[in-house]
Amino acid sequence: MKRGEFTLIDSIAALFAAVPHNGFEPIGDDCTVLDVGNDEVLVISTDMLVEDVHFLRSASSAEEVGHKSLMVNLSDVAAMGALPVATLLSIALPHDAQGEWVDGFMRSYADASRSYGVALVGGDTTAAKDKIAINVVAIGRMQRKNVKRRSAARVGDVVCVTGMLGISSKGLVDIMFGDLETEAAKAHRLAQARVDEGQWLGMRSEVHAMMDISDGVASDIRHIMAQSRVGAELDISLIPTDFDLRYALSGGEDYELLLTVEESSVEALIEDFSARFGAKLTPIGRIIEGNALRWVERGAPIELDLQGFRHF
């Protein structure tokens, strides 16, 4: 579970305190992790998308919703360092979405599944009263030793992000103002999960903690801090973006990866990443003692009150 639902999650954890874990790791990462023998684990994530909360039928095509439904989950699997192998899809359809809409949705979901080599292995379809609801479960497989957790950050680690931040939320704003064909608008509609990058980073032991950026760095870094019981100092002058800093720090759905790296290895990792993917891995700060998030600009402390996008 994620986003701003800490209170509900705390009360759920209390309710389940007496229930055995049956080989699963406790909640707290992008995915749950299950030992399956032969030094392998499955990682499993689930996300629900609801009409008029996560998308508007008037603003997003069925194809875009299909693409996004898959990507949010593949991104969670990638963030553990796993290879996504399969999804299960549940979809509740009101009467006026049962023809063309669901065809477009499924075509796009299948196209994206094919391009990532991910099977559809189960699901449920049902009627809904008036709003579409979609739930996707993604399953990944990987070597246990490569699993990257939010809880593995160490004091002294360099905080890095993949790619460029903010383009997806800039695109969302463009779309809201009717500019449907800007580069950012297209990027928002067709955001790709960093599946190859996640697996590659998973195999590097100098990468300690990792997660995907779904709500913006300013919000998501707090999950690593909470799980690892550390603080962080981030430098706004280092954030890789072509847009307003607010988009880059607080905008959702970039599906880039946020990771912490052993300081002595970070330069070599950045070079190897660039050689392998032709893309940037950018240091944006470091893990510090304590539990505070400090913002600096070229090393000098600044005040910043930024929140990631929250559903609650």
Q: Which of residues 69-88 bind a copy of itself (CB under 8 A)?
A: 85-86, 88
- Subset of 131-160 contacting a copy of itself (CB under 8 A): 131, 133, 135, 137, 139
Radius of gyration of the chain (CA): 19
Beta-carbon contacts of 30 under 8 Å, excluding residues fewer than 6 positions away, are: 2, 43, 45, 75, 76, 77, 79, 80, 150, 211, 212
In angstroms, give the least distance from the CB of 72 to a copy of itself. 10
- Residue 85's nearest CA partner among 160, 13, 139 is 139
Query: Which residues between 204 and 243 bind a copy of itself (CB under 8 A)?
Result: none
Beta-bridged to residue 127, according to DSSP, are: 93
- The DSSP code for 193 is -
How far, in Å, CA of 65 to CA of 188, rounded? 11
Helices (H) and strands (E) in the chain, counts: 9, 12
Cα separation of the two ends of the chain: 13
Of residues 11 through 30, those in contact with a copy of itself by CB under 8 A are 11-12, 15-16, 18-25, 27
* Residue 9: C-alpha distances to residues 5, 81, 146 (Å): 6, 24, 27
Q: How many residues bind to a copy of itself according to rule CB under 8 A?
A: 72
| Using rule CB under 8 A, residue 56 touches a copy of itself | no
Name the one range near a copy of itself by CB under 8 A: 96-104, 169-177, 226-234, 249-257.
96-104
Binder among 53, 59, 180, 302 for a copy of itself (CB under 8 A): 53
Of the residues 113, 169, 241, 260, which one makes contact with a copy of itself according to CB under 8 A: 113
In the complex, minimum distance from the CB of residue 234 to a copy of itself, in angstroms, rounded to a whole number = 27
Q: Could you tell me the smallest distance in angstroms from the CB atom of residue 155 to a copy of itself?
A: 28
CB of 10 to a copy of itself, least distance (A): 11
120 sits near a copy of itself (criterion: CB under 8 A): yes
Please give the residues from 28 up to 47 whose contact with a copy of itself meets the rule CB under 8 A: 31-32, 34, 36-38, 40, 42, 44-47
- Tell me the C-alpha distance between 200 and 15, whole Å: 37
